[in-house]
Amino acid sequence: MPGFSRRHFLTLAGAAALTGCGQRGQFSVASTPSPEAGIQRLLVATTRAADPAPIAYGSGRAEKLDFARLAVSIPPTHRIGNIEWPSRRSVDPARHFALVGADTLPDIEALVRAARSTAGDDEAVLFVHGYNNNFAEGVYRHAQIAWDYEMRGPQIHFAWPSAGRPLEYTYDRDSTLIARDALVTLLLRLLGDRGLSVSLVGHSMGGFLIMEALRQIALTGRRESLRSLVSTTLISPDIELDLFRSQAAALGGLPQPFIVAAAENDRLLRLSSSLSGGTAKLGAVRDLDQLEGLGVFVVDMTALADAGTNHFLPGTSPAVIALIKGLREVRPAPNQTIAVGPVSITLGADGLLGGDSGRPVGTAN
């Protein structure tokens, strides 16, 4: 992939200079990465409206999909679970995440060709970000996850128009519904390509968007296309339990394997629940028996906590990252639960934790 075209580099670099380089939530542009830095490449499909400053796409809602290629520099000092944001003063690619390549793609076929050309035997990962994320935050988080999980296949970032402001919850929820048709179009095109295998990953409200897209695919008579999904993972999904059951029923069964990473002590989902009348959320479910029979493999992270909201432990906790990396080597079975806690985990020969109950439970550092 080439680096910046001159036009894109001047636009982004000028915007960064005018707005204060290195501010959190904005791209930091570097014309060349550190020689020791890693490069994580992303393909982007977005329904965000184009915004020349300070990021390539803003919070406005576009009428059609736009496509791009990005290259993110990962510093050699990177710590697993972190995004090394620069200070306001300067960006140092040897110490900070930086955008080192960007170009637009003309259409969805160009994105599919780009994904196919780098796939090899590795699956493509289609990642859908969550609530209260601007474009740069979503891209950097996807790059960090892909790097920490050592995902070698094509990384496709679906960016829907979140307002990027915590008080705009309703705007964000409506934006996911507006973006639903675009995600369906993208997912069906990827699943229909014989040169690609695809896994879906969604965080928070991105999980809600994924479920709505899968439901729409099923209700329009294209349920069979979902058989080619390698896996679906929802991280801290912001979905009411009753709604999730309804979505699963419309699908006629969840595509397998279907993984939910949840934590009862997720502070943001508690707030989301209070805003919606106290209804239980899938990502903060208290009684895991409520998911019995739905075909969900649950990673229960309640025993862990971070210094913040506990809302993205699979992206920020080195322990959970290590656990889920291990699960990638096996095929999780439906209606199983792993509880994550202070002791190390041992997977059995069948890829599941031992136990007689049929709901194996273990713990991980």
Whether the per-residue pLDDT at 198 is higher than 60: the answer is yes
Contacts of 301 (CB under 8 A, 6+ apart): 261, 262, 263, 310, 313, 314, 317, 320, 340
Spatial separation of the C-alpha atoms in residues 333 and 95, rounded to whole Å: 40
Q: Which of 26 and 232 is assigned the larger pLDDT?
A: 232
pLDDT single digits (tens) 329-350: 656 667 676 666 543 333 333 3
Q: What percentage of residues in the chain have a pLDDT greater than 70?
A: 80
**Confidence band of 365 (pLDDT split at 50, 70, 90):** very low
Spatial separation of the C-alpha atoms in residues 73 and 92, rounded to whole Å: 10
Whether the per-residue pLDDT at 358 is higher than 60: the answer is no
Show the domains of the chain with their CATH numbers: 6-333 (3.40.50.1820)
pLDDT value of position 7: 46
Which of 45-54, 234-243, 331-340, 348-357 has the highest mean predicted lDDT (pLDDT)? Answer: 234-243
